[in-house]
Amino acid sequence: MEDDAYEEEPLNLSLAIMADPGGEKINRKRKRRVPLPSSYEGCEGKIFKLLQVREEMLKLDYKRKGVVEDGKALHLIHLLLITATSVDENNVNSALDNLTQLYQSVSLMGDSVQRVVAYFADGLVARLLTRKSPFYDMIMKEPTAEEEFLAFTCLYRVSPYYQFAHFTANQAIIEAYEKEEEFNNRALHVIDFDVAYGFQWPSLIQSLSDKASGGNRISLRLTGFGTSFAELQETENRLVSFAKGFRNLVFEFQGLLRGSKLTNLRKKKNETVAVNLVFHLNTLNNSMKISDTLKSVRSHRPSIVVLVEQEGGRSPRSFLSRFMESLHYFAA
């Protein structure tokens, strides 16, 4: 988001009467004030100052670009850990003071240390204020669908993480298809439990097309789970448009909302079935959902199941242990 976007957005505090973005009218309509928890008594001023300092950080990002010196980087990480301890102990005054100090030294557009600390500081503020706070939405503003797509596209282009996972998974799927090529009627059915924006599949489409001859077209059907009908429709349009450039390939897409049951799936006789679980199981928040997913996978008797996951623990842990694990992960 550009810096001028922050300048146009007023500081939306329920405790203040704000001018509108144009500055011509005063909005005197009183908002319903959500009472703060008792532990916040006497802290309204510190919260207001904290949000002002954070707003200044967002506006002045372009002035703080650069590399943090090693000594200062260690100081920022140390202060972040002290702040996390204060939040864990519900020491609101100390946490607010430390967060204000952090926002004065970090930037979302600075080097890697500044960015990591800035985002973790936002997470601590959100945890401190809780969802019931009138200030929570200022910190945890949900991105639009367009912003999410742009962010993921940028990440996909610069990071080998997803590209390597997708390339390796697709290679395994092609090998499974080749083993059954004599009796699968040149048909491959991929069930993707998290199709997202479909970035994994253009390379598979191209690879299958390279294998096919003009008289023996290959059929590729993709059943993909997504978070919304709009996302699935956009993914389908993107992949169908891409596949039209490969005349020796027949491509079909079926979109399902995440959480839907894998029932009444259209199947072709003897087709090779591949299940794609790339970065999906770790999104399930309990072992029961993981178990149900794996049972559903087994019921379709796939020729291959591709599983790609990052490391992660599921056992109950304290807030500080989870915080430290996440900090180590993203700081890497």
Considering the domain boundaries, does residue 317 fall inside one? Answer: no
Same domain for 145 and 88, yes or no, is yes
Q: Is residue 3 part of a domain?
A: no
Cα–Cα dist 61/81, whole Å: 23
Residues 213 and 139 both lie in one domain: no
pLDDT at 80 over 70: yes
181 and 285 housed in the same domain: yes
Please indicate, yes or no, whether residues 230 and 270 belong to a single structural domain of this protein: yes
Same domain, 81 and 191: no
Residue 15 lies in a domain: no
Q: CA 58, CA 7: separation in Å to the nearest integer? A: 9
- State yes or no: pLDDT of 316 exceeds 90: no
- Predicted local confidence at residue 20, as pLDDT: 35
Establish if 300 belongs to a structural domain.
Answer: yes
Q: What is the mean pLDDT of residues 70-78?
A: 84
Distances (CA, A) of 312 to 99, 279, 307, 315: 28, 11, 14, 10
Are 107 and 169 contained in the same domain? Answer: no
As for how many domains the chain has, the answer is 2
**250 and 180 within one domain:** yes
Q: What is the chain's mean pLDDT, rounded? A: 81
Render pLDDT for 151-161 as a digit per residue (tens, 0 to 9): 999 999 998 88
pLDDT at position 39 is 56
Q: Do 120 and 167 share a domain, yes or no?
A: no
* Contact (CB, 8 A) for 274 and 245: no
Whether residue 254 sits in one domain with residue 186: yes
Rounded distance, CA 101 to CA 80, Å?
10
**One domain for residues 279 and 207:** yes
- pTM, entire model: 0.74
What is the residue type of 207? S
Q: Is residue 190 a part of any domain in this protein?
A: yes
Q: Does 315 fall in a domain?
A: no
Better-scored residue on pLDDT, 40 or 73: 73
Residues 226 and 259 in one domain: yes
Q: Identify the pLDDT of residue 310.
A: 77
User: Looking at residues 123-128, what average pLDDT do you find?
Assistant: 90
Highest mean pLDDT among 23-32, 46-55, 95-104, 135-144 belongs to: 95-104
Task: Say yes or no to pLDDT of 323 above 70.
Answer: yes
Which are the contacts of 63, defined by CB distance < 8 A and separation ≥ 6? none
What are the pLDDT digits (tens) for 251-308? 999 999 988 877 667 777 889 999 999 988 888 877 888 888 899 899 889 999 999 9
Domain containing 265 — which CATH number?
A: 3.40.50.150
Per-residue pLDDT, 42: 63
Same domain, 142 and 257: no
Residue 313 covered by a domain: no
Band the pLDDT of 2: cuts 50, 70, 90: very low
In a domain, 154, yes or no: no
* 49-66 tens-digit pLDDT: 988 899 888 886 555 555
* Domain membership of residue 240 as a residue range: 162-308
SS3 content of the chain, % helix, strand, coil (to 5): 50, 10, 35
